[in-house]
């Protein structure tokens, strides 16, 4: 099971063993500002992809859609942001061998 919690500007992720309720690994994802996670999906390679929004890298604090890919060991492989003039966010994500399918809103 994978869980997320936001602490200031770092998203803490933790993979927990269901049988022992102890962390298998923990990772902090920094993005220069707040990250608002909305959904997590497992990936075919055993890793995880997280989606949501962030208010980083914009002088006005407009939300940007945000995605991050973690390996099966919790290592951040990549992060992506996308925005519109009035803000955007991603609410759900699914992954398969062909890639990722996301849904959200763009203002």
Residue 75 in contact with residue 29, Cβ under 8 Å? no
- pLDDT tens-digit map of 83-102: 777 778 889 988 888 988 88
Give the contacts of 52 (CB within 8 A, at least 6 positions apart): 35, 36, 37, 38, 39, 66, 89, 90
Tokens 């919690």 sit on residue: 5
pTM across the whole model = 0.76
- pLDDT tens-digit map of 33-77: 778 888 888 899 998 898 888 876 556 668 888 898 989 888 889
The more confident residue out of 28 and 8 is: 28
Q: State the pLDDT at residue 3.
A: 55
- What is the three-class DSSP state of 18? coil
- 8 pLDDT higher than 60: no
- 24 pLDDT higher than 80: no
Give the span between the Cα atoms of 84 and 106, in whole angstroms. 7
Local confidence band at 7 (pLDDT 50, 70, 90 cut-offs) = very low
Local confidence band at 13 (pLDDT 50, 70, 90 cut-offs) = low
Q: State the pLDDT at residue 77.
A: 92
């Amino acid at each position: 099971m994978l869980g997320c919690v936001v602490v200031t500007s770092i998203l803490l992720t933790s993979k927990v063993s269901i049988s022992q309720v102890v962390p298998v690994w923990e990772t902090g994802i920094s993005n220069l500002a707040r990250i608002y996670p909305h959904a997590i999906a497992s990936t075919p390679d055993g890793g995880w992809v997280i989606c949501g929004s962030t208010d980083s890298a914009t002088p006005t604090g407009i939300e940007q859609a945000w995605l991050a890919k973690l390996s099966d060991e919790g290592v951040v492989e990549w992060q992506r942001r996308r925005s519109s003039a009035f803000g955007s966010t991603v609410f759900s994500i699914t992954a398969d061998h062909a890639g990722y399918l996301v849904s959200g809103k763009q203002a």
